[in-house]
Chain A
Amino acid sequence: MNDLSNSIKGGAPSRDAAYNFAYLDEQTKRMIRRALLKAVAIPGYQVPFGGREMPLPYGWGTGGMQLTAAILGADDVLKVIDQGADDTTNAVSIRRFFARTAGVATTESTPDATLIQTRHRIPETPLHADQIMVYQVPIPEPLRFIEPSETETRTLHALNDYGVMHVKLYEDIATFGHIATAYAYPVMVDERYVMDPSPIPKFDNPKLDMSPALMLFGAGREKRLYAVPPFTRVTSLDFEDHPFEVQKWEECCAICGSHESFLDELIIDDAGTQSFVCSDTYYCAQRVSQQEQDQ
């Protein structure tokens, strides 16, 4: 365990007894679990659920938090990431929320966590079979940008009628010469449902395919949840002559030197000097401490 995670983990914090375990009442958690079972049974299908008010605004991860609250157990170890980082506002406040209302242990270490709530990233460290990922989703409907009507998009899903999805990719190529969609890149789950993988960069799409971990997606404002069960085929949509590609960087991480991870571009002075660093802070810190040990 590196010292970065120890500072936050701090053993099992005490639970605030004024709240029910993990904030939501038991009936609500039961309702969400029922919807989750349905979502797991039909990979990629959006299941409506009775979304509750959470003590933070829509868009801050209310959907993901409700899912986390519904499946959190007293023995779970929770990790929360926002844009890959464990120490940004959203991550810190959600982690503290569950530490207080559920008294669960929290961590920054990806392998140690049993439950990872995330916004915008899938950790670089490969996930394993007894982990659950919970994604915060703003707009669960991948067809929404092209088809504004909810009844129509539902019919399109039901009839497996996904021609319009490629219209968006066609537009990208026609406008930019390549598929410019860089995040929330639509995927086909188990050759049946087209799904929005939440605003993760398309760099992370291949990690969804045949992942040993269970993936749960919750949209609080839209009151929809969906799931990708372990070892499910997830393919990114593309054209034969414009195949799916992930982002690549010529630079490497300025801190750990990684060539494989997803890099954030930082502008570090008024002259526009760029620096690239890993967006996954745990992965980066892990590599640095490994390098120090090797020396």
Chain B
Amino acid sequence: MNQALKKPHALATVEPLLQVRDLSLLYGLERGCQDISFDLYPGEVLGIVGESGSGKSTLLSLLSGRLPPQRGSIGYRDKQGEWLDLYSASEAERRTLLRTEWGFVEQNPRDGLRMGVSAGANIGERLMAQGIRNYQQLRGAGLDWLSQVEIDPLRIDDLPRTFSGGMQQRLQIARNLVSSPRLVFMDEPTGGLDVSVQARLLDLLRGLVRELDLAVVIVTHDLAVARLLADRLMVMRRSRVVETGLTDQILDDPQHPYSQLLVSSVLQP
């Protein structure tokens, strides 16, 4: 693997949060993803970029415990500092992880939200799953998180379907962050949004990531999103990682021909 994979300023004393080794899942020749290895450190934002069909989303599903790989392993270091092998853990452990220490922001907020219940219930669901049985506390968390993601707290009892696309996406983010996760996966979080809404959402995300010291794995085909959010990039093509490195390094001085193509194809306004 590339030398740049080792985070240059990651001190020997800081242990990674996520350790991925030789991860593979192939649907066909060069369809899916193969031989993926990397470490993710606490508070680090890793961007995965690449063309459609390059295996970005498959990789994200593998990482987030939704799809068992054919080969390879994923180790996660939990809050107690214990290493957990994701796919040899029980389904109950994986689910607990997904709703406590992890978050998953879907591209389409309708997949990540419960559209039939109010915004407050959406935010409170993770807390209820963790056993919080105090209505006032759930209410408080709902109001607090709505204002953190810049939604008017008065709308706490409104259904998500009455929200605009950008608000729904922000609500989805609040719903994931309420359990103070350490690691969040995002699948094109700014996908279906118009440019100005995208900018606001990115601004918000950047603030939250810094403030909460989140580790994030973000899949995107938008290099502007990657530049704004990611510390480190992995460029994927035809199921393999072709280049990894610091975001600026890759975007300003791409080495692999495909990375060069990707960077040069960004429209300059």
Contact = CB atoms under 8 A, between A and B. Distances in A.
Contact of B120 (A164, A174, A238, A241): A174
Interface string A218-245: 0000000000000000000011111000
B128 A170 contact: yes
Interface string A133-175: 0000000000000100000000100011111101110110111
Interface string B128-144: 11100111101100000
B129 A163 contact: yes
Contacts of A239: 133-135
B95 A159 contact: yes
A132 B47 CA distance: 62
A32 B130 CA distance: 37
B248 interface: no
B117 A171 contact: yes
Contacts of A164: 125, 128-129
Interface residues of B, number: 24
B157 interface: yes
A167 B95 contact: no
Contacts of B135: 170, 173, 239-242
Interface in B135-186: 135-136, 138-139, 156-157
A239 B127 CA distance: 13
Contacts of A241: 134-136
Contacts of B124: 167, 170
Given A161-B95, A241-B136, A174 B128 contact: no
Interface residues of A, number: 21
Given A159-B92, A161-B95, A175-B157, A240 B121 contact: no
Contact of A163 (B130, B136, B139): B130
A26 B117 CA distance: 47
A162 B99 CA distance: 13
Nearest to A155: B91
B152 to A, nearest CB: 16
Interface string B97-137: 00100000000000000101110110011101110011110
B91 A166 contact: no
B134 A167 contact: no
A171 B118 contact: yes
A166 B114 CA distance: 13
A170 B138 contact: yes
Given A161-B95, A241-B135, A241-B136, A167 B156 contact: no
Contacts of A160: 92
Given A159-B91, A239-B134, A240-B134, A146 B120 contact: no
Nearest to A173: B135
Nearest to B129: A163
A240 B118 contact: no
Contacts of A171: 117-118, 121
Contacts of B139: 174
Interface string B230-255: 00000000000000000000000000
A153 to B, nearest CB: 14
A241 B136 CA distance: 7
Contacts of A168: 117
A206 B181 CA distance: 39
A174 B125 contact: no
Given A146-B114, A146-B116, A241-B136, A174 B129 contact: no
Given A163-B128, A163-B129, A175-B157, A170 B120 contact: yes
Contacts of B129: 161-164
A168 B128 CA distance: 11
Contacts of A170: 117, 120-121, 124, 128, 135, 138
Nearest to A175: B157
Nearest to A162: B129
B133 A167 contact: no
A186 to B, nearest CB: 13
A167 B114 contact: yes
B81 to A, nearest CB: 25
A174 B117 CA distance: 10
Q: Which 6 pairs between the two chains have the least Cβ-Cβ distance?
A: A163-B129, A166-B128, A239-B135, A163-B128, A159-B92, A240-B134
30 contacts: A146-B114, A146-B116, A146-B117, A159-B91, A159-B95, A161-B92, A161-B95, A162-B129, A163-B99, A163-B125, A163-B128, A164-B128, A164-B129, A166-B133, A167-B128, A170-B117, A170-B121, A170-B128, A170-B135, A170-B138, A171-B117, A171-B118, A174-B121, A174-B157, A175-B118, A238-B133, A239-B133, A239-B134, A240-B133, A242-B135
Interface of A: 146, 155, 159-164, 166-168, 170-171, 173-175, 238-242
